[in-house]
Structure 1
Amino acid sequence: MGAKTILLVGTKKGLFLLESDADRRDWELKGPFCEMWPINHAIVDPATGVIHAAGGNEWFGPAIWRSDDLGASWSHSSRGLAYAAGEEPIKAAWSLAAGHGRLYAGVDPAGLFVSEDGGASFAHVAGLQETPSRPEWTAGGAGLILHSLVLHPDDPNQVWVGVSAAGVFHTADGGATWSPRNRGTRADFLPEGQNYPDHGQCVHCVVMAPGRPNRLYQQNHCGMYRSDDGGVSWTSVERGLPSSFGFPVAAHPRDPERFYLSPLNGDIAGRFMPDAKAAIWSTGDGGATWTAHREGLPQRNAYFNVLRQAMATDRHDPAGVYFGTGSGELYASRDEGATWTRIAEHLPTISSVETYVVED
């Protein structure tokens, strides 16, 4: 059976779509969409086939865009995307997750909203704001943003969120109450002796391993981590990597031991590819060992970065792996990261990459 492969590429100047077949050799670029609003993240709801795109900034305000026809037409809504009168206004919508008939949106300043009507309107999940540590949350370099949203595949009451720079939090009761999930992750920027706090870590990205809901992977400002108990505790898996600093993580679609990341040369050393030589690193044993994949990627003058939501995998076999750069280049691998091809260039700064496979 044939299939259409779609990449959703969020940029600082709108959303772009790239389309190919199951072979993924030739790509057609479409866009920009969403009236060239800054788009921080875009997904397809697998239950409906609807595209949702989160965006905005201080000038536009927040909005969630929607397309029911794979990009042919668009609408957007910001209904309900607001805190109570007198509170700091929402600057932008930053992250999305769809599941169990709901659409979740993370925003800046950090908060969580949920829609029960496909993104037409949203309600504030106030329990996160009522977390006892909330007054102590501080902004990361990009602001105080809720950028990682992980839904339990079977239990609609369980959600994990990642907030920079507050840490990972989990709810088991649909958002009424939340608990920090940061034990074992460092905060090197804090004074000596205070490097493993209950909260205050600068988490960069959190993803779930396929078929194993309690297995989470996290790229942090201060290390790379794995959890086998739903984030209750974390183990460092950065040994063998060229750096403990990076932004995105992407899980393999079927193998819970395999995931991908893009280390950068350090938080204060430029935040580009180590030695200016591009590589995507993968592990096939849960982070015990690592392999660098370089074939097809630039090995000199690669002074670009990859942002926290700008890496993804598809569900083909072999799986495709994709990443976008801050300089507007998009790279694709048809063989699980072994070799790479540049499939787009000269795009605006790429904020996010997601995939969707449509069966014919």
Structure 2
Amino acid sequence: MAEEILVLIGTKKGVFIARSDEQRRSWNLEGPFCETWPMQHVIGDPASGVIYGAGGNEWFGPAVWKSSDLGKTWTHSSAGLAYDAGQEPIKAVWSLAPRNGRLYAGVQPAGLFVSDDGGDTWSHIEGLQEHPTRPEWQAGGAGLILHSLVPDAADEDRIWIGISSAGVFYTGDGGKTWEPRNKGTRADYMPEGQNYPEFGQCVHCLVQAPGEPDLLYQQNHCGMYRSEDAGKSWKSIENGLPSTFGFPAAVHPRDPSTLYLLPLNGDIQGRFVPDAKAAVWRTRDRGESWQDLRQGLPQENAFFGVLRQAMATDMMEPAGVYFGTSGGALFASSDEGDSWACIAEHLPTISSVETMVVSR
């Protein structure tokens, strides 16, 4: 049976879908969908084939969109996506993750919700909000958002989340209790002598390696890191990279030692690719060494950034790698990053890029 690759693109003005066959030589673009809502994260659930979109802002309010027919029709729901009366209202849904028939959602201001009916209704996982450090969490540049959401592929009770700028938190009991897991990650913006706090780091992206549940990577406001003990401690892996600052990270679908990053030139230098020359950086040895991948990417006047959820890999052999830019361009590689092509341009600002493989 033939397979089709879907690249799911969340933008500031709706969802777009790029489609190709397993060869990934040509692409068709569809959209915009979801009534051009601002969409922070669009995912496909490989178990059900359903596409979900995390959307909203202060004007639209929060909602999760849903398509059960690969993008032809959409519905949305915000039922249950609310805190108790008297708390700050939820502005938007920022991240989604499926796990064994459940769907998790991270929201702004930072909190975690779960749905057991495919996104139709939602329940608040209150343990995170009840953490004793909660009154001291500070908003990052985009607000106090739960943007990285990593349910363990092997143990449904384990979940890691990333909050800007509170750091990484972990639960081993399905969300009843949580603990910070930030040892070894810097917070350079803190006063001297307080650069390694228990919490308060501005994590930008958190991902889990395939086949090794305790192997995590993160790209941070202040460095790039690896953890081999489920986040209990972190080691810097930024040596050899052009910058300590960036947003997205994507793991290879089968090789836990292969990671892709897209560093930017710094938090106050413009937040675009270094020297305005685009490159994706790949490690094959868990961050001990890095290679810059530039073939087919613009090497002059590339003043774009790439946001925290705007890079992904696919499940094909060889693996595909994709990223979307602040300028609305979508780049793709069908050879694990060795060469690149622009497969869509002039889209709205791209917030997220994810992939799904379906049978035709």
The reply on whether 1:206 has 2:169 as its aligned counterpart is: no
Encode CA deviations 1:172-224: one digit per residue, 9 max, x unaligned.
01100000000000000001100000000000000000111100000000000
Distance 1:356 1:100 in 2: 17
Letter of the 1:288 partner, please give it. Answer: E
User: After TM superposition, where is structure 1 displaced by more than 2 Å over at least 4 residues in a row?
Assistant: none
RMSD: 0.5
1:98 corresponds in structure 2 to 98
Matches for 1:313-332 after TM superposition, within 5 Å? 313-332=313-332
Check conservation: 2:324, 2:352, Cα contact below 8 A.
yes
Q: Deviations over 1:82-108 (max 9, x none)?
A: 000110000000000001211000000
TM-score by length of 1: 0.99
Question: For residues 187 and 74 of structure 2, what CA distance do their matches in structure 1 show?
Answer: 42
Mapped to 1, the partners of 2:28 and 2:351 lie a distance apart of 20
Deviations 1:288-314 (A, max 9, x none): 000000010000000000000000000
Cα drift, residue 251 of structure 1:
0.3
Matches of 2:264 and 2:202, distance apart in 1: 16
The residue aligned with 1:109 is: 109
- Cα distance in 2 between the residues matched to 1:319 and 1:4: 14
In structure 1, the partner of 2:25 is 25
The aligned counterpart of 1:68 is 68
Q: Post-superposition shift, 1:47?
A: 1.2
CA deviations 1:272-330 (Å, max 9, x no partner) are: 01000000000000000000000100000000000000000001010000000000000
TM-score, structure 2 length as denominator? Answer: 0.99
Q: CA deviation at 1:359?
A: 2.5
SS of residue in 2 equivalent to 1:8? strand
The residue number in structure 1 matching 2:121 is: 121
Task: Write out aligned runs for 1:243-258 (5 A).
Answer: 243-258=243-258
The residue identity in structure 2 corresponding to 1:75 is T
Q: CA deviation at 1:231?
A: 0.3
Q: How does 1:129-208 map to 2 (within 5 A)?
A: 129-208=129-208
Q: Is the 8 A contact 2:81 2:113 kept in 1?
A: yes
The CA distance in 1 between the partners of 2:320 and 2:258, in whole Å, is: 13
Q: What secondary structure is seen at the aligned counterpart in 2 of 1:326?
A: coil
Q: Answer yes or no: is the 8 Å Cα contact 2:46–2:357 preserved in 1.
A: no
Encode CA deviations 1:150-185: one digit per residue, 9 max, x unaligned. Answer: 011121111000000000000001100000000000
Write the distance in 1 (CA, Å) between the matches of 2:268 and 2:237.
22
* Paired position in structure 2 for 1:84: 84
Counterpart AA for 2:70: L
Q: What is the distance in 2 between the residues matched to 1:151 and 1:175?
A: 11
Question: What is the DSSP-based 3-state SS (H/G/I as helix, E as strand, rest coil) of the residue aligned with 1:128?
Answer: helix
Matched letter for residue 82 of structure 1:
A
* Aligned twin of 2:15: 15
The answer for unaligned runs of 5 or more in structure 2 is: none
1:135 maps to amino acid: P
1:238 corresponds in structure 2 to: 238
Task: Give the superposition deviation at 1:2.
Answer: 2.2
5+ residue gaps, structure 1, are none
Q: Once the two structures are superposed, what CA deviation does each residue of 1:100-129 show, in whole Å capped at 9, x if it has no partner?
A: 211000000000000011100000000000
Amino acid paired to 2:35 = E
Q: Distance in 1 between matches of 2:70 and 2:2?
A: 18
Q: Look up the equivalent residue of 2:241 and give its one-letter code.
A: L
Equivalent position of 2:53 in the other structure:
53
Q: Distance in 1 between matches of 2:100 and 2:126?
A: 20
Q: Which SS does the other structure have where 1:57 is aligned?
A: coil
**Corresponding position of 1:287:** 287
1:257-276 correspondence runs (5 A): 257-276=257-276
